Amino acid sequence: MRINIEDAIFCLVDVQERLFPHMANKGTLEKNLITLVKGLYNGSLFQDQ
């Protein structure tokens, strides 16, 4: 699924080191979070307009 940056709002939730070890599917979650943040960064969401 592709996210159109022009139509999206990004809210980063801190996955705390105390909470993360107890979450189900944490490996998949970590991989998907990294992919999402990298994709948004490369798509210029974090660059000055």
User: How confident is residue 48, by pLDDT bands cut at 50, 70 and 90?
Assistant: low
What is the percent of the chain with per-residue pLDDT over 90, rounded to a whole number?
8
Residues in the chain: 49
- Note the pLDDT of residue 33: 84
**pTM for the predicted model, two decimal places:** 0.58
Rounded mean pLDDT, 11-32: 84
Q: Alpha-carbon torsion 34, 37, 39, 44, what sign?
A: negative
Amino acid code (one letter) for 33: L
**For the segment 24-35, what is each residue's pLDDT rounded down to a tens digit?**
998 998 898 888
